[in-house]
Structure 1
Amino acid sequence: MISPAFTCGSCGQVHDGLPFAYSMPAPAYWSAEMAENPASVLGEEQCVINDEHFFVRGRIVLPVRDADEDLEWGVWVSLSPANFSRMAEVFENPARVHEPPYFGWLSTVLPGYEPTTLNLKTNLHTQEIGVRPVIELEPTGHPLAVEQREGITVARVREFAEIAFHQ
């Protein structure tokens, strides 16, 4: 979702809207050269590298305390071969919402965070068919985990927008 225009603190210009969702196109470990390898594939929801590393797309939701919508990061999480296989097995089954969470490692570097978000521990929660999984971070002191638990403000959403608009 995108909210009304805002004045950017980086450039002073008025930008058309304040995005409340961002999506990363691939896991941090993916490179364009891998597309030529038949053992590696990057799809809309899943990624396999060298038939040995398995990733799925999910959403990290950050509550925005002073807005009517949440911020969503579209991210990639690595899963074990067994969990990746199980998730594929139940992908079209409506009962998948009852699956226990799958452990994984965050495989996305999100801008605006120090230290890096790469390799944070996660639990992936499957949702109803047609809805991307929700990623729950291990409740640590990492700034992303804290923001997931405690929420953020529209000012923080604006910080992310300024990073995205000026990279």
Structure 2
Amino acid sequence: MNDTIKFICDCCGKEHESWPALTYNSPNSYHNLSDQEKEEIAVIDSDFCVIKHPEHILRFVRCVLFQKVNDHCEDLEYGFWVSLSEQSFKDYLENFDNENHETQYFGWLSNYISQYEFAGSIPTTVVTKSGNERPEIFPHKDFDHLFVKDFYNGITKEEAEKRIQQMLKN
């Protein structure tokens, strides 16, 4: 694999190559807009996205999710977008530069992972962290979806590397 960083693992003491994070540049709702719609009704930067449809406004923030890998010392990191309510989005935006702001919001996962079938979105808990790190998301454990089961049960190193290779191809 290219674009990796070698490091000595705290877990096993062996040298590993660090995996790249699997990141999404935008929420699906933004990605699916026409170029004209992106220009006229949407605003996006590295942490926030707002889409102003005539009948409703969609608000998204960028978050991270760490997928447990059962037979490896390193987790697989995702950079996802999550939709928030107007109130939660406003609170997060107002406290974005506050290094001590720690809270939780309800959000909907707003990216689809190619290894899974999606009929709709997955409910998540968005947990802000001190130090201005991106919030971490946790899928709701009681939501019946294979992605949620894999999040809590873990995936194999082989599956993680397959996902990385697929993302690098795209």
State the TM-score, normalizing by the size of structure 2: 0.79
Aligned-partner residue type, residue 86 of structure 1: D
Give matches, 1:146-165, under 5 Å: 146-165=149-168
Corresponding residue of 2:75:
70
Conserved in 1, the CA contact under 8 Å of 2:105 and 2:125? yes
Residue identity opposite 2:125 in structure 1 = N
Q: How far apart are the structure 1 equivalents of 2:119 and 2:66?
A: 15
Question: How do residues 47-86 of structure 1 correspond to structure 2 at under 5 angstroms?
Answer: 47-50=49-52, 52-86=57-91
- Structure 2 Cα separation of the partners of residues 20 and 146 of structure 1: 23
Note the residue ranges of structure 2 that are not aligned, 5 or more in a row. 7-16
How many angstroms apart in 1 are the aligned matches of 2:75 and 2:119? Answer: 19
In structure 1, the residue matched to 2:114 is: 111
Aligned to 2:140: 138
Task: Work out whether 1:24 is the aligned partner of 2:24.
Answer: yes
Structure 2 counterpart of 1:50, one-letter code: K
Measured against aligned partners, the alpha-carbon deviations of 1:95-133 in whole angstroms (never above 9, x if no partner) come to 212x2x1001111011111x2175111110001233111
> Against the structure 1 CA distance between its residues 3 and 95, is the aligned structure 2 distance closer, same or farther, given a 3 Å change threshold?
closer
TM-score normalised by the chain length of structure 1: 0.80
What is the identity percentage for the equivalent residue pairs of Structure 1 and Structure 2? 28
Q: For 1:146, what is the secondary structure of its paired residue?
A: helix
Equivalenced residues, count: 151
> In structure 2, what residue type is equivalent to 1:21?
A
Displacement after TM superposition at 1:145 (Å) = 0.8
SS in 1 for 2:108: strand
Assess, with a 3 A threshold, how the Cα gap between structure 1 residues 166 and 88 changes in structure 2: closer, same or farther.
closer
Shift of 1:82: 0.5
Separation in 1 of the partners of 2:88 and 2:146? 27
Residues 18 and 163 from structure 1, CA distance in 2 versus in 1: closer, same or farther, beyond 3 angstroms? Answer: farther
1:91 is the counterpart of 2:96: yes
> Is this contact kept in 1: 2:99–2:132, CA < 8 A?
no
- State whether residues 43 and 50 of structure 2, in contact with CA within 8 Å, keep that contact through their aligned partners in structure 1: yes
| 2:150 counterpart SS class | helix
Partners of 1:110 and 1:117 within 8 A in 2:
no
